[in-house]
Amino acid sequence: MSRPILARIDPQAFRHNYLLSKNLAGKAQALAVVKANAYGHGLLRCAEAVRDVADGFALLELAEAMSLRGAGFTQPIVLLEGFFAHDDLQLAAAHSITSAIHCEEQLRMLELTELEHPLDVFVKLNTGMNRLGFVPEQLATVLNRLRASGKVGQIGVMTHFACADGTGIDAQLARFEAAALPTGLACSVANSAALLRYPHAHHQWVRPGIMLYGGSPMPDLQSAEQIGLRPVMTFASRVIGVQSLQAGEAVGYSATFTADRSMRVGTVACGYADGYPRHAPTGTPILVNGQRTRTLGRVSMDMLACDLTDIDADVGSSVTLWGEGMPADEVATAAGTVSYELFCALAQRVPVVEC
């Protein structure tokens, strides 16, 4: 008999969230960001949920793009980091996979590679994130070289915001638009936070990511529920043991939690080897039998402890680590991280089922 732990994935919730993003996008088209195996939710599972409505997809790995093409998806697919080798470039062009171009090395590789089919591209500009991209002042030169190569089809321009979920986008957007708008090319700048907060930055293509999975890109400003998003992943387990503690007794490794009264402590079949954050402190919220309580002490590799003192629960009681009824954003905030990391960290040993 397997351990009582699993992740339930709701494709219809993903579809709902994507349609919400399209509605917010207005006239813009929406590239569903499905990188990292759809943030740990399953690439093909999520893509299938929006096959008939998706404007396009964005991801990192050429292998993932090829799996979408192999499954019959005909929408635009954008490689957000572009290509890394001549063979990748040829394969992307042959299968109509759009590539970001963000550096001189990629531009030169394109110029030197023989292609049987033109490659659609997005020129990525660095407007202040300082990760990838040409500086905006280079855009005209890059465009001239792309066109002179005779190897590109459609061209777009993109950038990525550093603070769309916080202090804002004004400086980056102004720098981007000064360079890109005069070209008349399609533009893509808005991630989930910008899609929600800055309608004037939608341009031709938006790139919803975390919101598709039911997470808020700015949980301190607006919760997923307030936005109208539904959780796609519910990470669930059960209580497998109960201990009675007296005041002064401790729980778990390093005895980081000490009871200040008589308590009932439940042991849950879930630990950091399953993808639960080890650094989640005492007090991280958890649902047991649908009742809200808290974790206690240090998370172990395979187990964690929770407070059963004031709730009706025992061995066999259901546990929701995050998902339906327990927002992943709230768990992430308590653990000092973001819901993106929770989703992507789901361990391979955890069974995944659709609901």
Q: How far is CA 28 from CA 25, 109, 189, in A?
A: 5, 31, 11
15/307 Cα distance (integer angstroms): 36
Instruction: Centre a 10 Å sphere on the Cβ of residue 247 and count the other Cβ atoms it contains.
Output: 10
**Tokens 């033109």 belong to residue:** 118
Give residues with Cβ within 8 angstroms of 35, minimum separation 6: 58, 59, 60, 61, 64, 80, 209
State phi, psi for 59 to the nearest 5 degrees: -160, -170
Mapping DSSP onto H, E and C, the string for the chain reads CCCCCEEEECHHHHHHHHHHHHHHHCCCEEEEECHHHHHCCCHHHHHHHCCCCCCEEEECCHHHHHHHHHCCCCCCEEECCCCCCHHHHHHHHHCCCEEEECCHHHHHHHHHCCCCCCEEEEEEECCCCCCCCECHHHHHHHHHHHHHHCCEEEEEEECCCCCCCCCCCHHHHHHHHHHHHHHCCEEEEECHHHHHHCHHHCCCEECCCHHHHCCCCCCCCCCHHHHCCCCCEEEEEEEEEEEEECCCCEECHHHCEECCCCEEEEEECCCHHHCCCCCCCCCCEEEECCEEEEEECCCCCCCEEEECCCCCCCCCCEEEEEECCECHHHHHHHCCCCHHHHHHCCCCCCCEEEC
Q: Which residues are marked as active site?
A: 35, 253
